[in-house]
């Protein structure tokens, strides 16, 4: 399986950056706006669970990452790329996340120094690069990343197959059989299989795991209520505890 790891840029900023990408002639269908953490790598299907577990454990040790995207800059003349710079105090957390994930099956030799960035266009002419740097010299938005996503390439398009939120999971049963309860916006492959549905459509997916194995899972609405529950009935109340409470909508700067 062709996998990658990225910070997906949240709304309303993703829509705004897609406008910049469209103006530069970039395809919007191939991958959503993002900051790459681990570039594309081929992973054996039996090792995918290891990759997802690695993301969950790494994300649990990192706080939400607040950064500034912009202004536009370039890797030209090495590569004809225009991208938004990633700056701010939390850039160190972006680097820490990359280090934490660059192990095991994701450990690959680096062709270039890691530079956190959000690509606007992967390849364009020197003239358009110069014009973009002038036009976007004052473009800056403040963005907070709440999670890291694992993406899979299918039919030349990248889709999220897992989300690991930057928060510690709820642990119940300490002193006995410990159960970790976490929440995400994406049902991982083993969760979808456990729930008997290849595509779990819900705002939140809440999962309980014991020694890495799924023992209970639920779908939750944006309003914070469970819509569907599968698994150990004694865990239903515990799963409800970690459903995010809706907050105010963030606006662009």
What's the 3-state SS for 192-223?
Answer: HHHCCCCCCCCCEEEEEEECCEEEEEEEECCC
pLDDT given for residue 114 in this prediction: 94
pLDDT of amino acid 66: 98
Same structural domain, 69 and 155: yes
Q: In the prediction, which pLDDT does 221 show?
A: 84
The answer on 122 and 78 residing in a single domain is yes
Tell which residue, 186, 240, 185, 176, has the closest CA to residue 208: 240
d(CA 175, CA 116): 41
Which of 136, 161, 186 finishes a domain? 161
Please tell me the distance from the alpha carbon of residue 172 to that of residue 242, in angstroms, as a whole number. 12
Last residue of a domain, one of 161, 179, 208: 161
Identify the pLDDT of residue 198: 63
- CB-based contact 165:145 (threshold 8 Å): no
pLDDT of residue 199: 66
- Over its C-alpha atoms, the chain yields an Rg (Å, rounded) of 19
User: In terms of domains, do 92 and 14 share one?
Assistant: yes
For residue 183, is it within any domain? yes
Identify the burial level of 13 via C-beta atoms within 10 angstroms of its C-beta, where 0-12 means exposed, 13-18 middle and 19 or more buried. Answer: buried
> Do 48 and 189 meet the contact criterion of CB atoms below 8 Å apart?
yes
pLDDT attached to residue 246 = 64
pTM: 0.91
Q: The tokens of 114 are what? A: 């890691």
Of 161, 181, 196, the residue at which a domain comes to its end is: 161
Residue 202 lies in a domain: yes
Element (H or E) spanning 92, and its range? helix 91-101
Question: How many angstroms separate the CA atoms of 171 and 210, rounded?
Answer: 10
- Tokens, residue 51: 């990759």
Find the domain containing 26 and state its range. 2-161
Q: Domain containing 88 — which CATH number?
A: 3.90.1140.10
The answer to whether the CB of 71 falls within 8 A of the CB of 135 is no
Residues 51 and 23 in one domain: yes
Low-confidence ranges of the chain (pLDDT < 70): 174-175, 198-201, 245-253
Question: What pLDDT does 197 receive?
Answer: 75
User: Into how many domains does the chain fold?
Assistant: 2
Largest CA distance in the chain: 65
In this structure, are 132 and 153 located in the same domain?
yes
Contact 191, 214 (CB under 8 A): yes
Is there a single domain that holds both residue 22 and residue 97?
A: yes
């Amino acid at each position: 399986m062709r996998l990658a790891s990225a910070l997906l840029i949240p709304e309303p900023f993703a829509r705004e950056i897609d406008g910049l990408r469209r103006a530069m002639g970039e395809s919007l269908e191939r991958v959503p706006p993002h900051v790459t953490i681990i570039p594309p790598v081929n992973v054996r299907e039996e090792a995918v669970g290891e990759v997802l577990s690695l993301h969950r454990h790494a994300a649990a040790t990192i706080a939400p990452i607040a950064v500034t995207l912009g202004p536009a800059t370039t890797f030209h003349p090495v590569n004809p790329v225009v991208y938004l710079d990633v700056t701010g105090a939390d850039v160190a957390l972006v680097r820490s996340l990359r280090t934490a994930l660059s192990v095991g099956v994701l450990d690959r030799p680096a062709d270039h120094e890691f530079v956190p960035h959000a690509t606007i266009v992967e390849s364009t002419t020197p003239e358009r690069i110069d014009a973009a740097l002038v036009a976007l010299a004052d473009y800056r938005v403040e963005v907070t990343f709440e999670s890291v996503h694992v993406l899979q390439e299918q039919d030349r398009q990248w889709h999220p197959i897992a989300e690991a939120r930057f928060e510690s999971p709820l642990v119940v049963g300490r002193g006995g059989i410990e159960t970790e309860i976490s929440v995400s916006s994406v049902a991982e492959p083993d969760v979808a299989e456990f729930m008997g549905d290849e595509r779990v459509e819900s705002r939140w997916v809440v999962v309980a795991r014991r020694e890495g194995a799924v023992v209970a899972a639920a779908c939750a609405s944006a309003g914070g209520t469970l819509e569907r529950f599968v698994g150990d009935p004694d865990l239903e109340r515990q799963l409800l505890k970690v459903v995010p409470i809706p907050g105010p909508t963030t606006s662009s700067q």
